Structure 1
Amino acid sequence: MSGLPETEVTLEVPFFDADMLGIVWHGHYLKYFEIARCALLETIDYDYLTMKATGYVWPVVDLQVRYLAPARFGQTLRVKARMLEYEYRLKLAYEIHDTEGRRLAKGTTVQVAVELDSGEMCFGSPPVLLERIARWRERISPRDGSRS
């Protein structure tokens, strides 16, 4: 464990995400990243509604994706999200694997805090995010990395 939050979600590729050959359209991989990102943010109790309630929005300002193998209709996917940075921006890494462990895609997103009322971009993460990370760390046992 890196000392920062990470999570994994499992999903099955729905029919409407695939083309007539049964292959997932490339744009849907971003949706899968988003599902994992939401799960990761929930682990630190800082989901999108909480962000808004505390006066911030976090737009994605950079996105990188590398497609390695196609996902297909009906396939079960494991989507991992891992926090890389949080002090000045939120940088997250993602990996999508099939059930055999083959990596299908990987990528990163960068989000920055913007004050909801003023629309001004923050040059550091707001105290509320830093507090949520600190609380998350308190729940992690320093002995073995498991949650208490």
Structure 2
Amino acid sequence: MALILKPEDFPQPDSRLALTVSYGEVDQMGYAYYGHYPHWFERGRGHFIRVRGMSYGEVEARGVWLPVRDMAVRYLRPARYDDAITVRTAVSEWGRASVTFAYQVFGPPEDATLLAVGETLHACTSPQGRPMPVPSWLRELFTF
């Protein structure tokens, strides 16, 4: 996985989800616990799908599941309690039966400090877990 470190190299179209780091998401030092970043990626991915005009629930209702096969995160700087952060999400790569999402997490001031980057690779499967080609309607939804 090639993590995208430069904001100007981030794929398009993208979406941005604003979050605030809650007290329950930080450790004793006041830093966001590393395990919350994958959850923020998931929230960013759901937001990306919604702003394209469909919920992930609707994608599943159409018979397409996107289980995570692989994930990578690089932590650059810590997010802290009560920080306003932005999760940027886009599709970075298509496979015959897979899609890869890229993420950048920015901290305060807004979009100024890159805190983390990541990727998740998703298989495209039927509800029974059988691999299937990415449907054209899904590829079109994610690329406009």
Same-fold status (TM-score > 0.5): yes
- Establish whether residue 125 from structure 1 lines up as the match of residue 129 from structure 2: no
Taking the aligned partners of 2:102 and 2:55, their CA distance within structure 1 comes to 17
Q: Secondary structure at the match of 1:64?
A: strand
Distance change in 2, residues 1:20/1:67 (3 Å): same
CA contact (8 A) 1:60 1:112 kept: yes
1:20 CA displacement: 1.7
Greater RCO, 1 or 2 (C-alpha within 8 Å, sep 6+):
2
Instruction: Give the superposition deviation at 1:94.
Output: 0.6
Distance in 2, Cα, partners of 1:74 & 1:3: 29
CA RMSD of aligned residues (A): 1.9
Q: Secondary structure at the match of 1:62?
A: strand
Indicate the percent of aligned positions where both proteins have the same amino acid.
Answer: 27
The Cα shift of 1:78 comes to 1.2
Contact 1:80 1:94 in 2 (8 A): yes
- Mapped to 2, the partners of 1:40 and 1:48 lie a distance apart of 10
Change (3 A) 1:86 1:50: farther
**Using the alignment, how far apart are the partners of 1:3 and 1:80 within structure 2?**
10
**TM-score scaled to structure 1, two decimals?**
0.81
Q: In the alignment, which residue of structure 2 is the partner of 1:51? A: 59
> Unpaired runs of 5+ in structure 2?
1-7
- Please give the TM-score of this superposition, normalised by the length of structure 2: 0.83
* 5+ residue gaps, structure 1: 138-148
Change (3 A) 1:87 1:5: farther
Secondary structure (helix, strand or coil) at the match of 1:106 reads strand
Asked if residue 67 in structure 1 is aligned to residue 83 in structure 2, the reply is no
Mapped pair 1:38 → 2:46? yes
Secondary structure of 1:66's match? Answer: strand
Q: In the TM superposition, what whole-angstrom CA distance separates every residue of 1:41-74 from its partner, at most 9, and x where no partner exists?
A: 1122342211211012110101010001111111
Corresponding position of 1:143:
none
